[in-house]
């Protein structure tokens, strides 16, 4: 089974592009951290941050484009996928990405007018995580990606 669940913070605003058929693809750098701790023998283990490249497709990518920003906290479910490509210098590179299947936005949105106008909702007592329906890239093959450099 290939299943990944991450909770982390967005490191920079999403990179979004549209493929020839109008299919939206978004890439997000997500940081996950393990807290520092001390072993029983007194050894200090420092905090460790891991960066993940998360790829969203279609409606999920459009949602990411509109609502996800640097610093937001996300819960992402997906699968690990690796691929190779040739960079501009002719060097073969390998990347490991998370292909998102589900996402929840964990950062509370402001109760002010702009957020409500976008969401079209009445003020709520407490903001709720916003689930996004799964979207898979089944109809788009890697050959349709004409860029030789990933996000």
Express each pLDDT in 110-125 by its tens digit.
776 444 334 333 334 4
Does residue 17 lie in a domain region? yes
pLDDT band at 66 (very low <50, low <70, confident <90, very high): very high
Instruction: Give which of 131, 137, 99 is closest to 23, Cα–Cα.
Output: 137
pLDDT at 141 over 70: no
Domain count, the chain: 1
Does residue 11 lie in a domain region? yes
Per the structure, the complete domain to which residue 21 belongs is given by 4-37+45-144
Does residue 8 lie in a domain region? yes
Does residue 151 lie in a domain region? no
Average pLDDT along the chain: 82
Does residue 107 lie in a domain region? yes
Give this prediction's pTM: 0.70
For residues 17-45, average pLDDT: 95
Does residue 150 lie in a domain region? no
Q: Cα torsion at 75, 150, 12, 137 (round to 10°)? A: -30
Does residue 149 lie in a domain region? no
CATH at residue 63: 2.40.50.140
């Amino acid at each position: 089974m290939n299943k990944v669940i991450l909770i982390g913070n967005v490191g920079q605003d999403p990179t979004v592009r549209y493929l020839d058929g109008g299919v939206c693809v978004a890439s997000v750098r997500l940081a996950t951290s393990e807290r520092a701790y001390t072993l029983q023998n007194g050894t200090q283990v420092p905090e460790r941050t891991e960066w993940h490249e998360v790829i969203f497709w279609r409606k999920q990518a459009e949602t990411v484009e509109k609502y996800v920003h640097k610093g937001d906290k996300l819960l992402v479910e997906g699968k690990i996928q690796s691929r190779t490509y040739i960079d501009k210098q002719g060097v073969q590179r390998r990347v490991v990405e998370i292909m998102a299947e589900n996402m929840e936005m964990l950062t509370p949105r402001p109760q002010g007018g702009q957020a409500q106008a976008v969401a079209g909702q009445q003020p709520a007592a407490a903001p709720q995580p916003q689930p996004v329906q799964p979207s898979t890239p089944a109809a788009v093959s890697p050959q349709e990606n004409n860029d030789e450099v990933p996000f």
